[in-house]
Amino acid sequence: MTLQQRTAVFKALGHPARLRIVDALGEGERCVCDLVEVAGLAWSTVSRHLAILKDAGVLVDEKRGQQVFYRLQLGCVADLNRCLDGSAPKATGSCCATKRARS
């Protein structure tokens, strides 16, 4: 992934509603109607947030009949989100450790 693509991913993640959506999708695929409920926003607003995440390569969608389902394309985003909120599994260590080895 290029620097420009990584920048787009972090920019797309830079909104609380989009982080809530990513959190929900970290648990698995969801339809838009579920994501509207999770985000607590209007359908059109959630659609815009989903488009931003999709354009950045964070999400992919699949239309099934009348419904559209989204899932994470970048699974590492869910891992990063869990790490940052402190819910990463302790057995694997924290990716966000604040201590550095001193020489």
CB distance 83 to 96 below 8 Å:
yes
- pLDDT tens readout for residues 59-81: 999 999 999 999 999 878 877 76
pTM of the model: 0.77
In the prediction, which pLDDT does 98 show?
54
Stronger pLDDT, 97 or 33, i.e. the higher one? 33
Question: Is the confidence at residue 91, as pLDDT, over 60?
Answer: no
With CA atoms as reference, report the closest residue to 85 among 35, 33, 13, 9.
13
Q: Per CATH, is 3-85 categorized as 1.10.3720.10? A: no
Instruction: Give residue 100's pLDDT band: very low, low, confident or very high (50, 70, 90).
Output: low
- pLDDT tens readout for residues 12-57: 999 999 999 999 999 999 999 999 999 999 999 999 999 999 999 9
